[in-house]
Structure 1
Amino acid sequence: MVLVWAIFFIEVFVLTLLKPLITDFESATLYLIAFNVIFVFISFIKYRKGIRELLFAAFVLRLLTMFWDVYARNIYLLPHSGNDSEGFLISASHISNDLSLLKTDMYGGLYTKALGVLFYITEPERLLGQYINVLLGVSIIVFLYKILSLLEINKKTKELSITLLCFFPQAIIFSGILLRENIISFLVVISFYFFIKWYKYGKKFNGPLSIIFLAIASIFHSGVIGILVGYIFMFMFSKQGENKLTFNRNTIVIFFLFTFASLFSYTQLNEFLFSKFNSIQEVNDLYDSVNDRIGSSTYLVGLNVDSIWKLIFFSPIKMFYFLTSPLPMDWRGLSDIISFFLDGLIYLGIMMYCAFHINKWKKGHPLIIGVLVMLLAVVFIFGMGVANAGTAIRHRHKIYPIIIIIFALVNHSKKSRLQSKEIKEKGEKSVIDI
Structure 2
Amino acid sequence: MIKKKIILSAFIVVNLILLILLQSFNALYLYLFALLTVVVFLRVMNSKSLTFIIVMILTYFIYIGFMFYHNYVSPLPSSGNDDLRFELLADNYFYAWQADTEPYIFQNSTFYSQLLAVIYFIFGKNILIAGYLNIILHIYSCCILLKIINKVVDKYQNILISLYSFNIFHILNTVITLREMFIIFLIILYVYTLMNFLKEEKFKFIIYSIIVSLVASLFHIGLVSLIGFSGIVYSLFSKRSWLLRLIIACITLFIVSIIFFTSDDSKLDLVQKKDDVLAMDVIESRTDYIIVEPPSLILKPLYIIAKTFFFLDKPFFWDISNVSDVLAYFEKLLYLIPIFLYIIKNKYFRHNDYINILILLVIFLSVIYGMGTENYGTAIRHREKFVYLLYIIPIYYILSKEREFT
Whether 1:298 aligns to 2:290 is no
Whether 1:116 aligns to 2:104 is no
| 2: CA distance, partners of 1:117 / 1:140 | 23
Whether 1:422 aligns to 2:402 is no
> Is contact 1:29-1:128 (8 Å) kept?
no
Worse-matched range after superposition: 311-320 or 162-171: 311-320
- Give 1:42 deviation, angstroms: 4.3
1:390 aligns with 377
Whether 1:399 aligns to 2:386 is yes
**In 2 relative to 1, CA 307–153 (structure 1 residues): closer, same or farther, beyond 3 Å?**
same
Classify the secondary structure of the residue corresponding to 1:155: coil
- Give 1:139 deviation, angstroms: 1.6
1:19 aligns with none
Q: What does 1:272-351 align with in structure 2 at a 5 Å threshold?
A: 275-277=266-268, 279=269, 287-288=272-273, 293=281, 295-301=284-290, 305-341=294-330, 343-351=331-339
> Is contact 2:44-2:143 (8 Å) kept?
no
1:220 aligns with 219
2:78 aligns with 80
| 2: CA distance, partners of 1:169 / 1:201 | 36
Q: What does 1:359-378 align with in structure 2 at a 5 Å threshold?
A: 359-362=347-350, 364-378=351-365
Q: What does 1:166-205 align with in structure 2 at a 5 Å threshold?
A: 166-205=165-204
2:19 aligns with none
Counterpart selection for 2:256 from 262, 282, 285: 262
Q: Which has the larger radius of gyration?
A: 1
Query: Once the two structures are aligned, what percentage of the paired residues are identical?
Result: 23
| 2: CA distance, partners of 1:371 / 1:152 | 11
Classify the secondary structure of the residue corresponding to 1:125: coil
2:235 aligns with 236
- Give 1:61 deviation, angstroms: 1.6
Whether 1:28 aligns to 2:28 is yes
> Is contact 1:324-1:347 (8 Å) kept?
no
| 2: CA distance, partners of 1:84 / 1:263 | 28
Superposition RMSD on alpha carbons, in Å?
A: 3.3
> Is contact 2:272-2:292 (8 Å) kept?
no
Classify the secondary structure of the residue corresponding to 2:28: helix
- Give 1:388 deviation, angstroms: 0.4
2:9 aligns with none
2:69 aligns with 68
Unaligned stretches of 5+ residues in structure 2: 1-22
1:352 aligns with 340
- Give 1:334 deviation, angstroms: 3.5
1:90 aligns with 88
| 1: CA distance, partners of 2:355 / 2:233 | 10
| 2: CA distance, partners of 1:104 / 1:176 | 24
Worse-matched range after superposition: 37-46 or 308-317: 37-46
Counterpart selection for 2:245 from 248, 251, 274: 251
Worse-matched range after superposition: 288-297 or 160-169: 288-297
**In 2 relative to 1, CA 238–35 (structure 1 residues): closer, same or farther, beyond 3 Å?**
closer
1:154 aligns with 154
| 2: CA distance, partners of 1:338 / 1:257 | 42
Please report the TM-score for the alignment, with normalisation by the length of structure 1. Answer: 0.76
> Is contact 1:227-1:375 (8 Å) kept?
no
1:39-97: per-residue Cα shift (whole Å, max 9, x none)? Answer: 55444333222221221222222111111111211xxx312188332332222122112
1:15 aligns with none
**In 2 relative to 1, CA 303–91 (structure 1 residues): closer, same or farther, beyond 3 Å?**
closer
| 2: CA distance, partners of 1:351 / 1:193 | 21
**In 2 relative to 1, CA 259–133 (structure 1 residues): closer, same or farther, beyond 3 Å?**
closer
> Is contact 1:217-1:224 (8 Å) kept?
yes
**In 2 relative to 1, CA 164–31 (structure 1 residues): closer, same or farther, beyond 3 Å?**
same
| 2: CA distance, partners of 1:302 / 1:399 | 23
Equivalent pairs, count: 378
| 2: CA distance, partners of 1:53 / 1:128 | 25
| 1: CA distance, partners of 2:254 / 2:27 | 53
Unaligned stretches of 5+ residues in structure 1: 1-22, 241-245, 281-285, 424-434
2:6 aligns with none
Whether 1:408 aligns to 2:392 is yes
> Is contact 1:171-1:397 (8 Å) kept?
yes
**Structure 2 letter corresponding to 1:217:** A
| 1: CA distance, partners of 2:104 / 2:321 | 41
